[in-house]
Structure 1
Amino acid sequence: MKKIILPLFCLILLNCNKSEAVANESVSAMAVMEDVAVDSAAASYSPSPSTTTSDKQVQNSEPNSSNPKTNIVSKKIIKNGEMEIQVGEIKKAQNQISEILKKNNAYIQSERFNNNDTAENLNVTIRVPHQNFDPLINSFSNGVGSVLSKNISSDDVTEEYTDVSIKLENKKIYLEKYRDMLRSAKTTKDMLEIQENIRSLEDEIDVSEGRLRFIDDRVNYSTLELMLYKEKVRSSATSKIGFGSRFGDSITEGWNSFIAFFLGVISFWPFLLLIPIVVFVWKKWRKNRVKK
């Protein structure tokens, strides 16, 4: 009996040890499978297109405060000048000016010539690229004639240009908004009001753009007012004013002086009225003094 029980007991112990090992192996296998499943799920997961798109829309709709939009405008300097030069001959000076203008890519905007008894005057308005303004002034100062006067000025319009540019961009933005509103307008009254706002904005935009074009033109091309002056030398042989003309001028000046004197006396008429009164009072006072 003991011989039978002892082998059975050993067999039961062996079976128990095997079942525990199998159980442990199965648990380990399940844990490994779960880790693999989790890793594969994590690897295979990607956000849906709708979620990504919406996130991007939110990000795009939010203002980017770290990178604000700035308008950078270069310096806008308007240069103007005035020169008066005394020359020996107007024609010769004109030829010299033409050569100087060609070298500096300048052109004549307007020209006015005046010839009288005492002098010849040629007034020329010149436009020149701003980078050639100073060389042009130096060329006129050397060799053309004797400089009688020179005035150069610079005007910084950067602030004005920047202000007009910013306002112009804002007006264009509002104009597009009004146009969008016009497309969705449902009543005639709303359409008329929106069209009136659009018309007003378009006029303001035209004015602003015209102002910017004017400033750019004055900045890119400087303006110089040049006056050439030639004094005429008088002599008995060349003078156009003879004795007869001088005699007539003297009579005219004398008559004008007499008229001016007469009118000046007339202007004192209140004082002239007082003279008889003063004389009458003086005579009466004198008679009374003699009687006494």
Structure 2
Amino acid sequence: MKRLLTLPLFCLISMHCNKQQPQSVNADLVEVLQEDKAFENTPPPPPPRESPVNKSTMVSSSPVTGQQEPQPSVEPISKKIIKNGEISIQVGDVKKAQQQLGDILKKNKAYIQKEEYQNTDTAEKISLVIRVPHQEFDGLVNSFSDGIGSVTSKNISTNDVTEEYTDVSIRLANKKIYLEKYRNMLKTAATTKDILEIQENIRELEDEIDTSEGRLRFIDDRVDFSTLHLDLYKEKVRSSATSKIGFGSRFADSLTEGWNTFVGFSLGLIALWPFLLIIPLIIFLWKKWRSRRKNK
């Protein structure tokens, strides 16, 4: 009888143990899921603080990746000032004034870039384009005030091109960066179409770089060496208001002009010799015809 009661009791205990084990597993699984859900709901940590951006660094869109990339910072550029001048000087002797000019240019480390000579009926003139280091420009201009002749006109101008120079420099640096990127892409290009497109972009960038570098060289040249347009002239017919020209020079010019006028008049008469021959012949024939008509 005891055995019969023990067997059902053992079965009940076994069934109860089997039911308790899955419940513990399910409880563990629920705890894991709750932890995962809690982790997902946890707000992410704040992003790291970025270092302050340099004001000299600019941001642009890359033509290669289409993303914004910082441009390289450009070193501070000193003032770029271009000086130009125009001076006209009236002299008594052009050749002598030109010799004096040579000494002045040598003293101020200047040189003649262009020279043009004109000799007309009214004036003799030498037009010069002079290049001088910008440090010597003011000294050269002041050297013309005395010793050569009378300064009849003077125009000095300055042009600040610092902003243009800085802008061209920044663009040039960016173009060089993009050119390097395109060259790296060309090494890994897989199709002919990609190769041709990259090569075309490289060609355009190289042309733009050459243009920008040429512009910078031109500005540097104009900044380092100022340009002065100088005219040395002598009037062949002068008025009494001429300054720094003596009476003797004006008297000699008047005699020369009078002689030139006489020679010109004489040559004009000689040029009319056909008329001087034909007109008397016409008058003779007309008188002869008139006398015959009266006799009839």
Query: Where on the TM-score scale, by shorter chain, does this alignment land: which range?
Result: 0.5 to 0.7
Distance 1:63 1:238, change over 3 A: farther
Matches within 5 A, 1:87-102: 87-102=91-106
User: Aligned partners of 2:51, 2:180: CA distance in 1, in Å?
Assistant: 22
Distance 1:105 1:181, change over 3 A: same
User: Aligned partners of 1:187, 1:198: CA distance in 2, in Å?
Assistant: 17
Residue 234 of structure 1 deviates from its aligned partner by 3.6
TM-score by length of 1: 0.61
Amino acid at match of 1:243: F
Residue 65 of structure 1 deviates from its aligned partner by 3.2
The superposition leaves residues 154-179 of structure 1 with CA deviations (integer Å, 9 ceiling, x where unpaired) of 00111110110000001001000000
In the other structure, the counterpart of 2:52 is 65
1:210 aligns with 2:231: no
User: Aligned partners of 2:50, 2:151: CA distance in 1, in Å?
Assistant: 61
Among candidates 235, 238, 255, match of residue 255 of structure 2 = 235
Q: Which is higher, the Rg of structure 1 or of structure 2?
A: 1
User: Aligned partners of 1:235, 1:247: CA distance in 2, in Å?
Assistant: 21
The superposition leaves residues 177-221 of structure 1 with CA deviations (integer Å, 9 ceiling, x where unpaired) of 000100111111101100000000000000000000000000000
The superposition leaves residues 105-154 of structure 1 with CA deviations (integer Å, 9 ceiling, x where unpaired) of 10000000001122100000000000000000000122111000000000
Structure 2's unaligned 5+ residue stretches are: 1-47, 58-72, 237-252, 272-296
Secondary structure, in 3 states, of the residue corresponding to 2:117?
strand
User: Aligned partners of 1:100, 1:107: CA distance in 2, in Å?
Assistant: 10
Amino acid at match of 2:143: S
User: Aligned partners of 1:100, 1:129: CA distance in 2, in Å?
Assistant: 14
Among candidates 191, 194, 198, match of residue 195 of structure 2 = 191
User: Aligned partners of 1:136, 1:189: CA distance in 2, in Å?
Assistant: 61
Among candidates 144, 151, 158, match of residue 155 of structure 2 = 151
Matches within 5 A, 1:3-14: none
Matches within 5 A, 1:265-284: none
What percent identity do the matched residue pairs reach? 65
1:244 aligns with 2:231: no
User: Aligned partners of 1:225, 1:248: CA distance in 2, in Å?
Assistant: 43
Secondary structure, in 3 states, of the residue corresponding to 2:142?
helix
User: Aligned partners of 1:64, 1:174: CA distance in 2, in Å?
Assistant: 25
The superposition leaves residues 210-237 of structure 1 with CA deviations (integer Å, 9 ceiling, x where unpaired) of 0000000000000000000111224266
Residue 245 of structure 1 deviates from its aligned partner by 4.8
Q: Which has the higher helix share?
A: 1
1:107 aligns with 2:128: no
